[in-house]
């Protein structure tokens, strides 16, 4: 691309009223990322001199998220004057005054926009020497979008918003995608003339098009062929439509790269998930966040995996829930009705049935008996458990953390394991011997007395 400068402005100051939500619109989730995160990931992969994000509504919350996830972004605060035009105007005041390149504007609620489309837009704009180039789409149902009004010679004349359009204009199917590129000097000039004589009483960025045309500065339009890329999200119905489309594209891409997905309609895969070749994903499986599935692994049906790793040839499910920080080794198994969290399960080890494994490390080739609970929480603090390699634990055990079970050790069925078991030993009945009465009166400090507790129960 030429040496001409480029900055990007992302619009995220609106309140998103149509979401009817206490969460700002751009912070709603789509395939494991916020709407804004999708746009920021795309904007950040362009070669720019800065990505400016305009914030106002719940700016602390969004600002905090940006600082963590996109620290290079420059946050700009929009004042009380409303409208997309005002949003761009305040961001221009932060861009160095001598900047004379192009300004790419993207709405924070157009999450499927991709780098290729933006690069093509920049290319069209520069080769056409336009003052502005608008990304547009021709939709069967253009309801809600700004319409592109063209003059008799086919040139762009103006953009009219749905609420301000006359019946003829409402018939127009070519819409404004909310993505534009402007020559910085022309944009500054146009924005200084924006009015708010419209249905919403706002300073519309879209009015810049007509102002530029009036001054005989060429305004171009680039029509996208894939309409999903410009699908805006204003309400939750649109959010689910876009989520479904994105998911079906992600599933298709994984299928074409060698992953068997039996039922893409019931399989949900987040954008940052990776899956190895010849893995098999059964129906009703959700792969979320930074999850990685190894080659030849078999997942599901009805499995949820969040921010976890499943190594090659491992099997998960049916009906399992792998929470953050699970790492299942090669050839390992997590079976039905098992929940895991922050658990490293070594190569070839198995947790086949009805168990909870939290804050634990299990070595290689060990087997955890059915119905086992890793009691990681004593009511105040969390503790971790360590199970060695080649261990066989009995059914219905409770491992009271912190605890360590040596390599090759065994535990008997029904044991509450409170003391470490040495390598090769059998652990059984290691619970302190207490009668029921002792147990009832030994309360944690700070809880109600047993007498008060039993009184309140009999009420």
Instruction: Point out which residues bind Ca ion (CB under 5 A).
Output: 109, 232, 234
174 is a contact residue toward ligand UD1 (CB under 6 A) = no
H or E element, residue 8: strand 6-11
70 binds, among ligand UD1, Ca ion, none (CB under 5 to 8 A by kind): none
294 is a contact residue toward ligand UD1 (CB under 6 A) = no
Q: Which of 6, 43, 54, 95 binds ligand UD1 (CB under 6 A)?
A: 54
175 is a contact residue toward ligand UD1 (CB under 6 A) = yes
Count of residues that bind ligand UD1 according to CB under 6 A: 29
Q: Using CB positions, name the residue nearest to ligand UD1.
A: 146
Taken as a whole, the chain contains a residue count of: 459
Please, which residues bridge with residue 107 across strands?
A: 11
> Is residue 353 flagged as an active site residue?
yes
| Residue whose CB is less far from ligand UD1, 31 or 54 | 54
What does the alpha-carbon distance between residue 143 and residue 335 come to, in Å, rounded to a whole number? 48
| Residue whose CB is less far from ligand UD1, 222 or 312 | 222
133 is a contact residue toward ligand UD1 (CB under 6 A) = no
239 is a contact residue toward ligand UD1 (CB under 6 A) = no
How many other C-beta atoms lie within 10 A of the C-beta of residue 200?
A: 12
| Residue whose CB is less far from Ca ion, 39 or 246 | 39
DSSP 402: S
| Residue whose CB is less far from Ca ion, 109 or 161 | 109
For every residue of 264-314, DSSP letters joined together read GGG-EE-TT-EE-TT-EE-SS-EEESS-EE-TT-EE-SSEEEES-EE-TT-
- Residue 56 CB, shortest distance to ligand UD1, in Å, is 7
- Residue 233 CB, shortest distance to Ca ion, in Å, is 7
DSSP 94: T
291 is a contact residue toward ligand UD1 (CB under 6 A) = no
Site for ligand UD1 in 199-228 (CB under 6 A): 204-206
From residue 432, alpha-carbon distances to 350, 424, 429 in Å are: 29, 22, 8
452 burial type by CB count under 10 A (0-12 exposed, 13-18 middle, 19+ buried): exposed
Q: Which of 234, 260, 384, 389 binds ligand UD1 (CB under 6 A)?
A: 234
37 is a contact residue toward ligand UD1 (CB under 6 A) = no
- Residue 257 CB, shortest distance to Ca ion, in Å, is 33
Angle at 323 between CA 359 and CA 371, to 5 degrees: 65
- Residue 232 CB, shortest distance to ligand UD1, in Å, is 3
- Residue 88 CB, shortest distance to Ca ion, in Å, is 15
Site for ligand UD1 in 90-129 (CB under 6 A): 107-110
- Residue 178 CB, shortest distance to Ca ion, in Å, is 6
Q: Out of 197, 286, 353, 383, pick the active-site residue.
A: 353
H or E element, residue 181: strand 174-183
How many other C-beta atoms lie within 10 A of the C-beta of residue 294?
A: 21
| Residue whose CB is less far from ligand UD1, 17 or 67 | 17
* 254, 233, 164, 132: CA torsion to nearest 10: -60
204 binds, among ligand UD1, Ca ion, none (CB under 5 to 8 A by kind): ligand UD1
What three-state secondary structure class fits 106?
Answer: strand
Q: Which of 159, 320, 362, 370 binds ligand UD1 (CB under 6 A)?
A: 159
- Residue 272 CB, shortest distance to Ca ion, in Å, is 25
12 is a contact residue toward ligand UD1 (CB under 6 A) = yes
Q: Which stretch binds ligand UD1 (CB under 6 A): 118-126, 198-206, 240-248, 408-416?
A: 198-206
| Residue whose CB is less far from ligand UD1, 136 or 247 | 136
- Residue 232 CB, shortest distance to Ca ion, in Å, is 4
Asked whether 146 and 170 are in contact (CB, 8 A), the reply is: no
Q: Using CB positions, name the residue nearest to Ca ion.
A: 232
Nearest to 29 by CA among 337, 246, 311: 246
Nearest to 328 by CA among 397, 269, 317: 317
What does the alpha-carbon distance between residue 415 and residue 411 come to, in Å, rounded to a whole number? 7
Q: Which of 34, 42, 78, 372 binds ligand UD1 (CB under 6 A)?
A: 78
| Residue whose CB is less far from ligand UD1, 15 or 155 | 15
What does the alpha-carbon distance between residue 359 and residue 182 come to, in Å, rounded to a whole number? 53
Angle between helices 35-44 and 59-69 (to 10 degrees): 40
What does the alpha-carbon distance between residue 230 and residue 116 come to, in Å, rounded to a whole number? 13
What does the alpha-carbon distance between residue 253 and residue 265 come to, in Å, rounded to a whole number? 14
How many other C-beta atoms lie within 10 A of the C-beta of residue 197?
A: 7
Binding residues for ligand UD1, rule: CB under 6 A, are 11-14, 26, 54, 78, 82-84, 86-87, 107-110, 145-146, 159, 161, 175-178, 204-206, 232, 234
Q: What residues act catalytically?
A: 353
């Amino acid at each position: 691309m030429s040496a001409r400068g480029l900055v990007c402005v992302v619009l995220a100051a609106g309140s998103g009223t149509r979401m009817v939500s206490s969460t700002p619109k751009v912070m709603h989730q789509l395939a494991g990322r916020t709407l804004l995160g999708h746009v920021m990931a795309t904007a950040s992969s362009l070669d720019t001199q800065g990505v400016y994000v305009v914030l106002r509504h719940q700016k602390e919350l969004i600002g905090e998220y940006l600082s963590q996830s996109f620290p290079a972004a420059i946050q700009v605060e929009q004042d009380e004057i409303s409208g997309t035009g005002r949003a761009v105007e305040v961001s221009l005041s932060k861009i160095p005054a001598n900047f004379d390149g192009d300004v790419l504007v993207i709405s924070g609620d157009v999450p499927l926009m991709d780098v290729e489309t933006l690069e093509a837009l920049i290319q069209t704009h520069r080769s056409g020497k336009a003052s502005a180039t608008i990304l547009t789409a021709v939709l069967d149902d253009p309801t809600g979008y700004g319409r592109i009004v063209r003059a008799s010679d086919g040139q762009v004349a103006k953009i009219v918003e749905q609420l301000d359009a006359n019946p003829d204009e409402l018939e127009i199917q070519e819409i404004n995608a909310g993505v534009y590129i402007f020559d910085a000097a022309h944009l500054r000039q146009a924005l200084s003339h924006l009015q708010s004589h419209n249905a919403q009483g706002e300073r519309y960025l879209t009015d810049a098009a007509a102002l530029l045309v009036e001054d005989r500065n060429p305004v171009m339009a680039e029509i996208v062929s894939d309409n999903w890329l410009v699908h805006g999200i204003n309400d939750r119905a649109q959010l689910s439509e876009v989520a479904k489309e994105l998911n079906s594209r992600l599933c298709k891409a994984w299928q074409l790269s060698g992953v068997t997905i039996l039922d893409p309609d019931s399989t949900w895969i987040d954008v940052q998930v990776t899956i190895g070749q010849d893995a098999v994903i059964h129906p009703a499986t959700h792969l979320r966040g930074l999850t990685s599935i190894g080659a030849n692994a078999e997942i599901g049906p009805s499995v949820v995996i969040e921010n976890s790793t499943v190594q090659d040839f491992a099997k998960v499910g049916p009906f399992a829930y792998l929470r953050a920080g699970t790492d299942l080794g090669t050839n390992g198994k997590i079976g039905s009705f098992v929940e895991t969290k922050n658990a490293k399960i070594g190569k070839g080890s198995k947790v086949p049935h009805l168990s909870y494994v939290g804050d634990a490390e299990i070595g290689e080739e060990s087997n955890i008996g059915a119905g086992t609970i890793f009691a990681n929480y004593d009511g105040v603090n969390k503790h971790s458990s360590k199970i060695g390699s080649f261990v066989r634990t009995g059914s219905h055990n409770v491992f009271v953390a912190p605890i360590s079970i040596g390599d090759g050790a065994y535990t008997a069925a029904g044991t509450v394991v409170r003391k470490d078991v040495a390598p090769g030993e059998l652990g059984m009945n290691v619970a302190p011997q207490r009668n029921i009465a002792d147990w009832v009166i030994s309360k944690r400090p700070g809880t109600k007395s047993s007498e008060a507790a039993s009184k309140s129960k009999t009420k």
